[in-house]
Structure 1
Amino acid sequence: MKKTTLLSLCFACLLGLPLRAEVIPVDTIPFELGADKRLYVTVYINGQDDRPLRFLLDTGATDVVLNSNSPRTEGLAAFTESVENNSANSVETIPSTESSQVVRMGSRAISGLKLIAIPYPPDAWDGVLGLSYLRNFDVCIDYRRKAIFLYELGDGQKAVSDKAVRLKMDYCLGVPVVPVDVKVNGVDYQVSVAVDTGSDRVFDLNTPFVRRNGLLDTQKPFAISRIAGTVKDGGELQNVYFDSVSLEWLVLPRIPGAFSTVTTGVQASEAMDGVLGNNFLQRFNQLYDFKNNDLYLEVNDRLYTPFYDFLVR
């Protein structure tokens, strides 16, 4: 009798435990991890299913972009309008279409989108998949499974691991920004930084923030970089070491970052303090909850991947 009572009580306790609701993605899309460690997916434009295109997945791009120098994009859309484009190092007026285009990744086609044209090198990629498409879903980037999972808006959080860090997303210049703590030269700063999977950088502090806090030339750079944006002479970045970068409770010591001297474009903007590039973000599986404006980051097995090969030679 005692044994029966004990089993009954255990069963009752189990019934009272909260269970994580299983959520099924609306689609699963494999991605290619490029030599530059960025994410590439197959995209189709305007129902041209016989013309698969290689697109860069870019959370730092507001729109979907066609590479006007790629022979594979010729004739896919009519660029009859123009828009002002803020790139990393410039502000330019560039061609755009009407907001009537159809973009498909996997089985998910979104209509009523505008495309813009940027002349990247012909072999770079065929286009860029930006937020005008991505924000129609909650988007999970899983490096372990090399797949992107699309969820109905609001459902993505149900798939988040308990080990993930949650950062609140806001928007500046049309792209998501999150709060981050960074320590530089022994001083702690709370910064708002863009989350940009399209950038191959690690963590750049914008020119206004660098100037305001007197950071330029406070360290001897281990390298000097120039941004390969939409203009050739785009400005300079002093690559230095940050003491640490903190994402809520997760502290990452000695992170290579940069002080920007760029005077035009996103990295010259006072709207945000800096940019987290994919060389930082690739160390985490990412869940973009675009309905609730939350970004979840879970450490993956790329955490200790070298930031730059020349630093470990």
Structure 2
Amino acid sequence: MWRFLWIAILFFYVNVPVQAQRNNGSDIEKPIAIIPFQLIDKQVVIPVLASGSTDTLHFIFDTGAEVTVLNFATANKLKLKGSGEVFMSGINNLMVKTSSVSINALYIREVRMPYVKAYLENLSNLGAIDGIIGIALLKPYIVKIDYRKQELVLYKSGKTPIGNTGRLLHFQLNYTTPVIDASIQLSDGRRLPGHYHITTGGDYGVLFNWPYVDKNKLNTILPTINTDPVRDVVKTLYYINSTIPSLELGGHSIKQVPVSYCKDIDDLGVFTEIAGSIGYDIWKQFTLTINYDKQELYLE
């Protein structure tokens, strides 16, 4: 299960610009790339090429991934050598050492991403996955995730294309991860508001942060359906799975939402309390258009 994802680099993180231009011409509505994807174990998996290789790589696209991650085995196959040690922090805030590599360029259909810095991790538990990419692809473009057609559609950064019929929600950023407002309904009728990460790569409905669970005593209110031991890169984490009657998000009410929590999950907010993350089981019901530059999310 996809419970763990590196989301923060605390040292030596370098932002590398991607080749993209502001849209200021008449082709504002014209996509610059349409990228087909596969849904594998609830993951959006896109085809990627690396400079110096003709083999198609398979990367998970996750809006909650703040850094680009490359599988150790793939790095060896591409003959990329790690350089130095960096410290990474995940959603359980444990620090581990890893190394990074520099890739001359990644190609995602018509999109060329030069000088990509990727952090090495063992992704063997994800099957035939070569890497993970998120904010690096999300940041320079307007990205439309069409689950029905299984396509990522990229537009130039700027004004969201005319003709979008989705409902507009404004988001804020926690470090570089988009955060949206939502509320949950409990079986006792209470509604609890919260701030949630937009995490398309999460294989859940809602994954709560433990401080939010503890503060609102959700562990004493939510019925336990089952428990789920998941091996993280550091240790085994034990998730408790349940459901809530509904999630209110952007004027939509989603019923009987699967939720999970774990005492080790504490995804800190830099300016605000983070209630948790909203994952695939919610987002699959919509077409998402994310304008990172304008901090806009359209749901349709």
TM range (shorter): 0.7 to 0.9
Give the structure 1 partner of residue 204 of structure 2: 201
Question: What is the rounded CA distance, in whole Å, between the counterparts of 2:38 and 2:76 in structure 1?
Answer: 20
The correspondence for 2:29, drawn from 14, 23, 27, is: 23
Q: Match for 1:200: what amino acid?
A: D
The correspondence for 2:89, drawn from 86, 90, 99, is: 86
Q: Do 1:88 and 1:227's aligned partners in 2 also have CA atoms closer than 8 Å?
A: no
Describe the shift of the 1:171–1:240 C-alpha distance in structure 2 as closer, same or farther (beyond 3 A): same
Describe the shift of the 1:204–1:151 C-alpha distance in structure 2 as closer, same or farther (beyond 3 A): same
SS in structure 2 opposite 1:69? helix
Question: What is the rounded CA distance, in whole Å, between the counterparts of 2:104 and 2:234 in structure 1?
Answer: 27
The correspondence for 1:52, drawn from 39, 46, 56, is: 56
Give the structure 2 partner of residue 174 of structure 1: 176
Q: List per-residue Cα deviations over 1:211-258 (Å, max 9, x = no partner).
A: 111221323311112344333412x22212212111122111221212
Describe the shift of the 1:103–1:210 C-alpha distance in structure 2 as closer, same or farther (beyond 3 A): same
The correspondence for 1:67, drawn from 58, 67, 71, is: 71
Q: Percent identity of the aligned residues? A: 22
The correspondence for 1:242, drawn from 241, 244, 248, is: 244
**Mapping for residues 1-313 of structure 1, pairs under 5 Å:** 23-34=29-40, 36-45=41-50, 47-70=51-74, 74-89=77-92, 90-98=94-102, 101-121=104-124, 123-161=127-165, 164-185=166-187, 186-234=189-237, 236-262=238-264, 267-271=265-269, 272-298=274-300
Question: What is the rounded CA distance, in whole Å, between the counterparts of 1:118 and 1:223 in structure 2?
Answer: 29
Question: What is the rounded CA distance, in whole Å, between the counterparts of 1:230 and 1:101 in structure 2?
Answer: 28
Output the aligned Cα RMSD: 2.1
Give the structure 1 partner of residue 18 of structure 2: none
Question: What is the rounded CA distance, in whole Å, between the counterparts of 2:176 and 2:95 in structure 1?
Answer: 14
Structure with bigger strand share is: 2
Give the structure 1 partner of residue 8 of structure 2: none
Q: Do 1:42 and 1:53's aligned partners in 2 also have CA atoms closer than 8 Å?
A: yes
Describe the shift of the 1:193–1:94 C-alpha distance in structure 2 as closer, same or farther (beyond 3 A): same
Give the structure 2 partner of residue 310 of structure 1: none
Q: List per-residue Cα deviations over 1:105-130 (Å, max 9, x = no partner).
A: 11111213311111111734011122
Q: Do 2:168 and 2:297's aligned partners in 1 also have CA atoms closer than 8 Å?
A: yes
Q: Do 2:222 and 2:244's aligned partners in 1 also have CA atoms closer than 8 Å?
A: no
Q: Which moved more, 1:23-32 or 1:196-205?
A: 196-205
Give the structure 1 partner of residue 23 of structure 2: none
Q: Match for 2:123: what amino acid?
A: Y
Q: Match for 1:179: what amino acid?
A: D
Q: Which has the larger radius of gyration?
A: 1
Question: What is the rounded CA distance, in whole Å, between the counterparts of 2:163 and 2:114 in structure 1?
Answer: 27
Question: What is the rounded CA distance, in whole Å, between the counterparts of 1:159 and 1:95 in structure 2?
Answer: 44
Describe the shift of the 1:180–1:291 C-alpha distance in structure 2 as closer, same or farther (beyond 3 A): same
Q: Do 1:63 and 1:129's aligned partners in 2 also have CA atoms closer than 8 Å?
A: yes
Describe the shift of the 1:129–1:243 C-alpha distance in structure 2 as closer, same or farther (beyond 3 A): same
Give the structure 2 partner of residue 301 of structure 1: none
Structure 1: runs of 5+ lacking an equivalent: 1-20, 299-313
Structure with bigger helix share is: 1
SS in structure 1 opposite 2:162? helix
Q: How many residues are treated as equivalent by the alignment?
A: 267
Give the structure 1 partner of residue 11 of structure 2: none
Residue 22 of structure 1: CA displacement?
7.2
